[in-house]
Structure 1
Amino acid sequence: MSPKLRAVIKAHKKAHAFWLSVCGCTDTLKLGREATADEEALWDKGNDGEYAALWDVCRFPARTTADQAAKGRYLRKFHSWKFGYLEEDQVDALMLSMIEAGKGAK
């Protein structure tokens, strides 16, 4: 795996871990009350950061077989029963990354 792809995946793992750490901060059952504006903002920050970082992985132009395989294995984790599915714009980014990766290939 290339250092650039490794960095993009590492950034997503960090964003995902942050989101997991704050995802319950707005859960009214867990809190026993309504979430505050600060708690909602923290959840939004975590959610938006994780979403953007996963989009970056989808959009990464994997040009080598090793990068393509690593990217595919990593994304498969987020298209499963546990995490749900990739959003439409993430799938679009993934498709665009494959088209652009293939432009120079013969």
Structure 2
Amino acid sequence: MTLIDVPQTAKFLGVCRQTVYNMIKAGEIPFVMVRSHYRIPREKLVSQLAAEPTASISSAGGVAEESTCRTNETIRPIGGSASKHQLDATLDGLLGPTTKRQRQR
């Protein structure tokens, strides 16, 4: 039986160390205590993953799935190419106060 530590488990699962600790505390992955350190039996982890494939990233302890976008961004339908003046005006509007631009001579 091969025992791996938390950072190795995190790398194997593709999650951060804290997620592995959370999964251990929730009883989602097998572990043994060696002195005061968590060790995960690699073979048991592999067989558990093979037996119970996760349905989504959120159930694996990753990013929560959201059905709606939380930004207030509005997308204006535009087509074609914008002129330099239009791009400058758009950027000035997005970045805040207008800037004075020097004309090239």
Shorter-chain TM band: under 0.3
Bigger helix share: 1
Bigger strand share: 2
Bigger CA radius of gyration: 2
Q: TM-score, normalised by structure 2?
A: 0.22
Greater RCO (Cα-Cα under 8 Å, separation 6 or more)? 1
